[in-house]
């Protein structure tokens, strides 16, 4: 047999190399970036509430840090804690509310902050620093806050002659019978129980089993009149007019009101804090122990502490803002809204939820199960 010439061998070798390159490229495309690649290293992983960061802020931060921001979402603190307990990891930053921050600190799940990397921390209003959850703010930086309140179709409730300034609207049958099937409440143990406790004249942090059972009975009595337990869907349904009343968060009600106005609905979505009082939820940025990029995490926190960036969140979502430097960039109509920025009188009727001990969590879980099954 005639031996192959050198050019023939080279051609075969070249073909083999091209085939291997194609196979390698195919594997990379299917499986994503190889572990440990430089591109994969420059990713900041954020575990955050739904719709709680302006897209423009994301793009601007990615440009500033020359990195990618990857987000996963949760709709309430219980969901976030449950996912972490089930093994979710790798998050550099999480944005828990105060009572969930309590839990994470007790679990030893957080890394301390390096405040030398956070010069913009000076912009935070001292009223939102040094909380009972994290004295000295060694682990947490205030991000934004919301109020739990009642949103409603102003024209419809005026037509039905229903009050809008009391939790009685979602708990009392004499009012609910007029809006049956047009009401939703938050699908959150702590938030719904807090509303019931406030209506009964107790603190949202009342630990009495007797009072909790009264609150649960109040909820069970009202439940047949409600359309659903909902943490997010109520925004769209309220804006479309399918719902007339919703128990929810101030930033969600802001969005519902904005959507109804933009789409030219023949009604206005209003929202107000009940006279009995309500929950103020302060959300903070924290470093999770499983995060791999504390450098990018500190860079993001300091970025969000800049007044312009922080104001962008409020202008987009209607969330309350603990950043004093942000106030000059917030739209006047939002800054003047007491359901977003409560005045001193209203602040006196608001409470932050505290964490529960193991016995209290078991009791609440049992009561919640009974509520859902009845």
What tens digit of pLDDT does each residue of 257-270 get? Answer: 999 999 999 999 99
Best CA proximity match to 299, nearest among 56, 88, 54, 65 = 65
Structure tokens at 192: 């719904």
Cβ–Cβ < 8 Å for 118, 300: no
Greater confidence (232 vs 84) lies with 84
Burial 145-182 (b: 16+ CB within 10 A, else e): bbbbbbbbbeebbeeeebebebbbbbbbeebbebbeeb
Distance, in Å, from the CA atom of 192 to the CA atom of 183, rounded to the nearest integer, reads 13
The verdict on pTM exceeding 0.85 is no
Which residues have C-beta within 8 Å of that of residue 332, sequence separation ≥ 6? none
Q: What is the pLDDT of residue 41?
A: 64
- pLDDT greater than 70 at residue 25: no
Q: What is the pLDDT of residue 81?
A: 95
- pLDDT greater than 50 at residue 30: no
Quick check: helix, strand or coil at residue 24?
Answer: helix
Q: What is the pLDDT of residue 50?
A: 85
Cβ–Cβ < 8 Å for 189, 77: no
Cβ–Cβ < 8 Å for 227, 247: no
Give mean pLDDT, residues 301-325.
96
Please give the DSSP secondary-structure letter assigned to residue 249.
E
Which residues have C-beta within 8 Å of that of residue 279, sequence separation ≥ 6? 147, 148, 191, 194, 195, 204, 350, 351, 352, 353
Least confident among 37-46, 173-182, 208-217? 37-46
pLDDT band at 232 (very low <50, low <70, confident <90, very high): confident
Quick check: helix, strand or coil at residue 23?
Answer: helix
Least confident among 28-37, 99-108, 115-124, 274-283? 28-37
- In the numeric block, the tokens 């009223």 are attached to 127
Give mean pLDDT, residues 288-301.
97
- Where do the H-state alpha helices sit in the chain? 6-31, 38-41, 55-65, 77-85, 98-106, 154-159, 168-171, 173-176, 189-199, 209-222, 234-240, 250-262, 294-304, 307-317, 332-335, 344-347, 358-373
């Amino acid at each position: 047999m005639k031996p192959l010439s050198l050019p023939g061998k080279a051609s075969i070798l070249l073909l083999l190399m091209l085939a291997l390159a194609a196979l390698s490229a195919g594997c990379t495309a299917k499986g994503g970036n190889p572990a440990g690649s430089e591109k994969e290293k420059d990713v900041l992983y954020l575990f955050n509430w739904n719709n709680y960061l302006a897209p423009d802020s994301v793009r601007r931060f990615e440009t500033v840090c020359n990195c990618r921001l990857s987000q996963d979402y949760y709709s309430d603190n219980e969901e976030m804690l449950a996912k972490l307990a089930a093994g979710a990891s790798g998050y550099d930053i999480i944005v828990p509310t105060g009572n969930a921050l309590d839990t994470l600190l007790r679990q030893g799940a957080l890394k301390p902050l390096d405040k030398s990397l956070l010069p913009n921390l000076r912009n935070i209003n001292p009223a939102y620093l040094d909380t009972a959850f994290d004295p000295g703010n060694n682990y947490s930086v205030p991000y934004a806050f919301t109020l739990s309140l009642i949103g409603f179709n102003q024209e419809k409730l005026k037509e039905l002659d229903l009050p809008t300034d009391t939790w009685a609207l979602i708990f009392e049958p004499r009012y609910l019978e007029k809006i049956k099937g047009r009401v939703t409440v938050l699908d959150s143990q702590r938030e719904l129980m807090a509303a019931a406790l406030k209506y009964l004249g107790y603190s949202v942090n009342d630990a009495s089993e007797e009072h909790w059972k009264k609150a649960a009975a109040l909820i069970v009595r009202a439940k047949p009149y409600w359309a659903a337990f909902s943490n997010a869907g109520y925004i769209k349904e309220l804006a479309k007019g399918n719902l007339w009343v919703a128990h929810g968060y101030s930033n969600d009600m802001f969005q519902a009101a904005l959507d109804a106005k933009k789409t030219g609905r023949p009604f206005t979505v209003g929202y107000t804090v009940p006279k009995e009082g309500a929950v103020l939820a302060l959300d903070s940025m924290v470093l999770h122990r499983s995060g791999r990029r504390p450098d990018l995490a500190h860079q993001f926190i300091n970025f969000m502490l800049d007044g312009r960036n922080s104001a962008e969140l409020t202008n987009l979502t209607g969330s309350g803002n603990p950043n004093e430097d942000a106030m000059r960039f917030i739209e006047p109509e939002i800054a003047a809204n007491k359901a977003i920025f409560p005045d001193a009188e209203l602040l006196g009727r608001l409470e932050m939820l505290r964490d529960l001990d193991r016995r209290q969590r078991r009791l609440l879980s049992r009561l919640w199960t009974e509520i859902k099954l009845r």
